[in-house]
Amino acid sequence: MDIVVGKQDFLYLGAAIIRFMAMNTSFTPQFSLDELYISPFSAERYFDTVTGQALYRPVERNMSPTGIHLMDRFLQIVCLSEHYTVNTLRNKLGVDMREFSVFCLLLSGMDYESLHEAIRLRLADDLLRFTDLEMRDVARRCGYSDYSGLFKLFERKYKRTVGDRQRQLRKRGDVGRWRI
């Protein structure tokens, strides 16, 4: 006999998980943000020991950090797409976002919106620090249709502008250290 779980059952399960997490302080998510994050960089800079010339070597990236197709596909889209929107993301994943939010909560301890925002912030920080991309291109790679969405996120989370955050992060020699 097969067990059939419907949408309402899944959402009820999600609510139960949230209550469990709120009451159980020992709940540990299966994956941390560091484990879920896929770096947008495909190569790192090094200097030839003879000529001193800057060269790039490929870096290994774990493209399936969870081994769960749906979550890995989400992470690949969010971390590696040159441009996507939330609607594009929803269409590519082909799932109800409320259900996906419960799924994210189980794996990361964060609902979909919190996880998506945390990844956007990490991605934006990396791009601002290590590339010379224009702000609008950084915003597009983070899933915003224009710069204003990224600006509002930084104002809310960091209490500073995107440019101020870039100046805070960037150290001498950072630009070009990694290549997309």
Domain boundaries, the chain: 29-169
pLDDT at 6 over 70: no
Judge: domain 29-169, CATH 1.10.10.60: yes
* pLDDT confidence of residue 11: 54
Say how far apart CA 33 and CA 144 lie, in whole Å: 21
* pLDDT confidence of residue 92: 87
pLDDT tens digit sequence for 79-127:
998 777 777 888 888 888 888 888 899 899 999 999 999 999 999 999 9
* pLDDT confidence of residue 90: 83
Segment 132-151 shows an average pLDDT of 91
Q: Which structure tokens are listed for 74?
A: 């989400």
Q: Which structure tokens are listed for 41?
A: 């960089």
pLDDT tens digit sequence for 119-133:
999 999 999 999 999
Say how far apart CA 104 and CA 89 lie, in whole Å: 14
**Quick one: which H or E segment has residue 178?**
strand 178-179
Q: Which of 1-5, 63-67, 92-96, 158-162 is the least confident region?
A: 1-5
User: What pTM value is reported for the model?
Assistant: 0.82
**Amino acid symbol at 32:** S
